[in-house]
Structure 1
Amino acid sequence: MSLFIEIKNLNLSFGDIKVLKNINLTINEGEVIGILGKSGAGKTVLMHVLRGFDEYGNISGEVIYHLAGCEDCEYVEPPSKAGKKCEKCGGELKPFSADFVKLPVHDPVRRRITRRIAIMLQRTFALYGDEKVISNVTNALTEIGYTGTDALSKAMEILDQVQLSHRMTHVARDLSGGEKQRVVLARQLVKNPMLLLADEPTGTLDPNTSHVVHEVIMNAVRRYNMSMIITSHWPDVISDVADKAIFLEEGEIVSEGDPKEVADEFLKHVGAIERNSRPESGEPIIKVENLVKKYISVSRGVVYAVNDISFEVNEGEIYGLAGTSGAGKTTTSKILIGNIQPTGGDVHVRVGDEWIDMTVPGPSNRGRATQYMGILHQEYGLYIQRSVIDNLTESIGLDLPYELAVRKAITTLTATGFTESKAKDILSKMATELSEGEKHRVALAQVLIREPNIVIMDEPTGTMDPVTKGEVASSILNAREKMGDTFIIVSHDIDFLESVCDRVALMKNGKIVDIGEPEEVLLEFTGKERMEAENI
């Protein structure tokens, strides 16, 4: 590997406080360097020195970038490209070096280099909060001066790379922390960076979300053949992703080498570190408390369709609402999505980090979270005389350029269980040419392509045969895995709920009588009640 960055005897002080002390480190092209250290150890300061945006008065030593540059268009590449043709103009790339300690911050050479450096900062998402995700990425292309007519296509390709194409129409502020970090990475990837500086990119995220973000980051590192420097105070992060690690304490390198050995040395100094664990499915995304819905009937008086129920649904969970006809499960689902208002109680849905009160009318007199919720009715609404691609775009008002519409349709269809080749094959088919199982998967894709966080499915199996039910179950499980959406399944089909749900709430006469593991809860759904349900 070619030598990329040399840090020699680097010292930096703020006033009388020395924050970096005699730092010596080499970074090779394509190498991932992990920096471990407690808060205040100097990790972030070192990252900012490497980034090159800031000028420091009391700094000494060397921070040398070894590079290849084109004299014709001034494009900069990693050192291994020296002697090759410039991909921008066809000129020759020649080797050169630049010292960030000696070069002024506004020096043209230094600025050429910093344009190829990407950074992800802890807790700083640096997004256009009121803009859609896709706009955040196209804006980043504009910011680097990209004027190509394929900007939208490039943006969508990058969102595919960070596994966020299913959130492209979401407003950035409504994303979760992990999703925001992936948009930040997408905005940085438009630079086609040669170096990624990731400063505690998952420091405030839960373990499951951290794993997803780290996976996306490492995929980007490999795809773009980047070098990366990542800081963390979590030893397992550095052990998992780094080729080489350093342990920084009070501005000094106290250990350097194999990531596992450095992590063990770090743990000796700081003791055991425990991360807060959480259920695999995630933190709550829906909270229902003391929910009531009553109607006045001339013949029956006051009728309680839902009678004082409380439950929570976790993010990424497949949650079942079980019960016979009239148990209250469908009414509950309609309240959740904002189609009807409750008589009493509270319903809150989390959008990003904000809890939305669904009892307070928003757009179209429904709770604001409704735009991030989708429902698939038992009699799903495919347009029989339209092709699959029309059903997934024009027929539901999805206005995208055709090329992007096709790409998004294929991505969504594969999330429901189609292979990519099969998804491409059925795009031009009429809905009448599909099998019942295929129709259901296309109908689910019709909901998912609108990018909901939460999907409610009302009696999804109906009178299907066992084979088709199995296809439907697979489509739901596959969609959850690919997109991370939360599913609420309203059904009286016991076997189906047992096969697909993580938890089930059993309803009877408007009340929840049990919540828990499907097998245990649904044992109560036996005898005459179960027989009646299976004959509905």
Structure 2
Amino acid sequence: MIEFENVRKVYLNGTVALDGVDLKINDGEFVFIVGASGAGKSTLMKLLLREEKVTSGTIKVDEFDLARMKEHKVPYYRRQLGVVFQDFRLFQNKTVFENVSFAMRAIGEPNSQIRKRVPAILNIVGLQNKMKCYPRELSGGEQQRVALARALVNNPSIIIADEPTGNLDPELSFEMMNLLRRINRLKNKTVVVITHEKNLVDHFQERVIRLEEGKMIEDRVGGMFE
């Protein structure tokens, strides 16, 4: 579960990025976070990733209290999260298999587990036949699916997708969102999607949390972008 209680974030330059945000996301939910540029979406994500600390208030993710968390525990906490970025962030000199397995090697998983787990995850995202390809040999949609596979490979409880369709055309955007929703349904993963794509939000009719000038102004199940 993700829980924000009266969260306020003020940057050193005085910018109030979030102001009194209260929200709760239960295990297994699919949630869109929407809002205009500067609404506070990026700050909310940075707080969730513990890249930034709250100015006041509390954030709890499962058993982790992010406001009180010691720095040496942050890497362990982040293992509970799978993150998908707009710009893919793939290693161009590594194959699909190597890109996905990198996340497992980073936490010391044995080769036997890597050889078993990576093909299984690539099968879920439909890239089982692309394991030996390099990113430059893939389409944008395929590269984003590699990024999703990498986010999934360590079996996180929460998937955070930051503008995951920002570099994709409309057809591929719907494919990516369908894949995220399928993972949410079949694997019972909590999925949080930060997006400005109105058509996707309106089409999928999931829970929508809308931010405006750092405040949460709407929280609706089956909501629309506006």
TM-score (norm 2): 0.91
Q: CA deviation at 1:129?
A: 0.6
Give the match for residue 17 of structure 1.
15
CA deviations over 1:411-444 (Å, ceiling 9, x no partner): xxxxxxxxxxxxxxxxxxxxxxxxxxxxxxxxxx
Give the match for residue 7 of structure 1.
4
Sequence identity (%): 32
Question: SS of the residue aligned with 2:71?
Answer: coil
Alpha-carbon separation, structure 2, partners of 1:250 and 1:256 = 15
Alpha-carbon separation, structure 2, partners of 1:20 and 1:183 = 32
- Quick one: which of 74, 78, 85 aligns to 1:114? 78
Quick check: 1:33–1:245 contact (8 Å CA) kept in 2? yes
Task: Say yes or no: does 1:255 pair with 2:218.
Answer: yes
Quick check: 2:82–2:151 contact (8 Å CA) kept in 1? yes
Partner amino acid for 2:70? Answer: P
Quick check: 1:34–1:259 contact (8 Å CA) kept in 2? no
Consecutive aligned runs of 4 or more in structure 1 exceeding 4 Å deviation: none
- Quick one: which of 63, 67, 75 aligns to 1:101? 67
- Quick one: which of 36, 52, 58 aligns to 1:62? 58
Task: Say yes or no: does 1:158 pair with 2:156.
Answer: no
Q: CA deviation at 1:178?
A: 1.3
Alpha-carbon separation, structure 2, partners of 1:121 and 1:252 = 24
Q: How does 1:345-494 map to 2 (within 5 A)?
A: none
- Quick one: which of 36, 39, 42 aligns to 1:41? 39
Alpha-carbon separation, structure 2, partners of 1:38 and 1:192 = 32
Q: CA deviation at 1:241?
A: 4.1
Give the match for residue 182 of structure 2.
219
Q: CA deviation at 1:226?
A: 0.9
Structure 1 unpaired stretches of 5+: 67-96, 267-536
Q: How does 1:208-357 map to 2 (within 5 A)?
A: 208-241=171-204, 243-260=206-223, 262-263=224-225, 266=226
Aligned-residue RMSD, C-alpha: 1.8
Task: Say yes or no: does 1:204 pair with 2:167.
Answer: yes
CA deviations over 1:438-481 (Å, ceiling 9, x no partner): xxxxxxxxxxxxxxxxxxxxxxxxxxxxxxxxxxxxxxxxxxxx
Q: How many residues align?
A: 225
CA deviations over 1:302-354 (Å, ceiling 9, x no partner): xxxxxxxxxxxxxxxxxxxxxxxxxxxxxxxxxxxxxxxxxxxxxxxxxxxxx
Quick check: 1:11–1:22 contact (8 Å CA) kept in 2? yes
Question: SS of the residue aligned with 1:259?
Answer: coil
Alpha-carbon separation, structure 1, partners of 2:34 and 2:195 = 5
Partner amino acid for 1:99? Answer: D
CA deviations over 1:2-49 (Å, ceiling 9, x no partner): xx1210111111121101111110111101111111222111210121
Alpha-carbon separation, structure 2, partners of 1:223 and 1:113 = 24
Alpha-carbon separation, structure 2, partners of 1:63 and 1:38 = 23
- Quick one: which of 155, 164, 186 aligns to 1:192? 155
Quick check: 1:144–1:191 contact (8 Å CA) kept in 2? no
Partner amino acid for 1:104? Answer: K
Q: CA deviation at 1:119?
A: 0.8
Question: SS of the residue aligned with 1:33?
Answer: strand
Structure 2 unpaired stretches of 5+: none
Question: SS of the residue aligned with 1:41?
Answer: coil
Quick check: 2:30–2:181 contact (8 Å CA) kept in 1? no
Give the match for residue 414 of structure 1.
none
- Call closer, same or farther: CA 1:242–1:8 in 2, change over 3 Å: farther
Q: CA deviation at 1:148?
A: 4.0
Partner amino acid for 1:98? Answer: F
